[in-house]
Amino acid sequence: MSELADLREHLERYRAVTHQALDLVTDEDLGWRPGPELYTLGQQFLHIAQSEDLQIPGLLRDDWDYERGRFPARELKVDELRELLDATRKRTMVALSELNPGCLGEPVDLGEGKPTQTLRWWLWLMVEHEVHHKAQIAVYLRQMGKTPPFFAEALEDGARPDIEIREKMGGF
């Protein structure tokens, strides 16, 4: 498997889990936050999509339109967030399918004294960014009394082998 194929597989697999988490919430849940200085649940989902929508055009076409990262004046609804996550990922997958694999090792200079990293580094950071916010969403869901989906892949019917194994082994 090529590195770009591996990257696309990770992006799709983790997005499927993000969707399963979104499936657990209602429009009313989206305004919940564990503290006044933290993102709402809805803003966590929105930030995942907006960051990707900012980074992919920026990294691949030097199109850094920071308006794509600005939160709207109102909380989006579950269906709107799902559509945004899907549309953003579709654009990302098209852009990655058009990317020459030889470009992965090329440096990306963001200027302003920021360290120069390779395109590979930035693309994998985007994967890690979604994992990071997906983990925050999982904590939010736990605090709301909901069991989040399995972290690594979207399992059928919300299966949680990690919880099953922990219970069998006497964990809590």
Residue 13 belongs to domain with CATH number:
1.20.120.450
**What is the structure's pLDDT at 172?**
60
- Domain region containing 127: 3-168
Number of domains in the chain: 1
**What is the structure's pLDDT at 113?**
76
Residues of the chain with pLDDT under 70: 171-172
What does the alpha-carbon distance between residue 88 and residue 56 come to, in Å, rounded to a whole number? Answer: 9
**DSSP secondary structure code for residue 33 in this structure:** -
Closest CA relative to residue 118, chosen from 164, 78, 59, 31: 59
**What is the structure's pLDDT at 114?**
75
Segment 124-148, tens digit of pLDDT: 999 999 999 999 999 999 999 999 9
117 forms bridges with which residues in the sheet?
108
Place of tokens 């090792």: 105
**What is the structure's pLDDT at 164?**
86
